[in-house]
Copies of this chain bind each other. A is one copy, B any other.
């Protein structure tokens, strides 16, 4: 699926995204064409989705992150709700889930008070029956995939 060189390449790009293909080849001790081919293949296979800018909501003023679980009225289903959620900028992601709730969303707000505004927006969505929110106090493990890439390379 993925080999050691791929993993080292991803790790390198993760550590220093600004460097180019040529610099990668030097650091990894392989030919430039190889790095180029690997990168192309990784993107083609979808392993690397892209190199979009990572935006930090906190730096934009949205300093509170929370997770909100939704219960949704059976009739109508998830789709209309998801569409309405997608229209709320503060909804960073939304999943349908198993278990007690029906959907789980990550949301942000400018503060606890602003978070209430966002929650109200969600509660107002047609089809949402009940919500339950937990606030993220700290993030000891920030989002990451590098360890996973390394693990995948060892297979």
Contact = CB atoms under 8 A, between A and B. Distances in A.
Interface of A: 1-2, 10, 13-14, 17-18, 45-62, 65, 67, 78-79, 82-83, 85-86, 88-101, 104-106, 108, 132-152, 155
Give the copy number. Answer: 2
B55 A49 contact: yes
The DSSP consensus for interface residues of chain A is mixed
Given A17-B52, A46-B59, 18 more contacts: A1-B60, A10-B55, A14-B53, A46-B56, A47-B60, A49-B55, A51-B51, A60-B149, A61-B155, A90-B151, A92-B141, A92-B144, A95-B138, A97-B134, A98-B134, A98-B135, A104-B134, A105-B141
